[in-house]
Amino acid sequence: MAVCIAVIAKENYPLYIRSVPTQNELKFHYTVHTSLDVVEEKISAVGKAMADQRELYLGLLYPTEDYKVYGYVTNSKVKFVIVVDSSNASLRDNEIRSMFRKLHNSFTDVMCNPFYNPGDTIRSKAFDGMVSTMMVQTS
């Protein structure tokens, strides 16, 4: 399960970012922000070849000692970043993919809301709830 999930706008400002435990929030913000470097690198690397059939899932962006950072980019260049605890080795690539898919679906729902103004930070409860199910449960 993820320790941090972030949705980042095309212009690279955060639309949504949530992490557990909360006291480390700042660190996660730094991690997610730095990961954008790799996201951009990956997008531009693939972008030239075949922008159309590009896979949305970017895979492991970079590992750190404590966390693994995975990335995903929608066709509208909104980035999803999931940070997973390194010690949580039971998570397979497929599970990360399915997490991203769920995130993307939920994000699409948010965008479909006529009252949501694209570009605003996401405050949807449904989205928040869905993210909660993917986060590490802190008891």
Contact flag: residue 77 with other proteins (CB under 8 A):
no
Contact flag: residue 30 with other proteins (CB under 8 A):
yes
Minimum CB distance to other proteins smaller for 9 or for 56: 9
What's the distance, CA 72 to chain centroid? 6
Minimum CB distance to other proteins smaller for 26 or for 50: 26
Beta bridge partners of 59: 71
Cα–Cα nearest to 61, from 89, 33, 87, 88 = 33
Q: How many CA atoms lie within 13 A of 34 on its CB side?
A: 12
Q: How far is the CB of 81 from other proteins (least distance, A)?
A: 13
Minimum CB distance to other proteins smaller for 45 or for 52: 45
Contact flag: residue 93 with other proteins (CB under 8 A):
no
Structure tokens at 73: 């980019």
Task: Give exposure, 106-133, as e/b (b: 16+ Cβ within 10 Å).
Answer: bbeebeeeeeeeeeeebebeebeebbee
Contact flag: residue 62 with other proteins (CB under 8 A):
yes
Contact flag: residue 41 with other proteins (CB under 8 A):
yes
What's the distance, CA 104 to chain centroid? 9
Among 1, 2, 22, 34, indicate the residue that binds other proteins (CB under 8 A).
34
Q: How far is the CB of 32 from other proteins (least distance, A)?
A: 9
For tokens 């928040």, what's the residue?
128
Q: Which residues bind other proteins (CB under 8 A)?
A: 9, 11-14, 25-26, 29-30, 33-34, 36-38, 40-41, 62-65, 86-87, 89-90, 119, 121
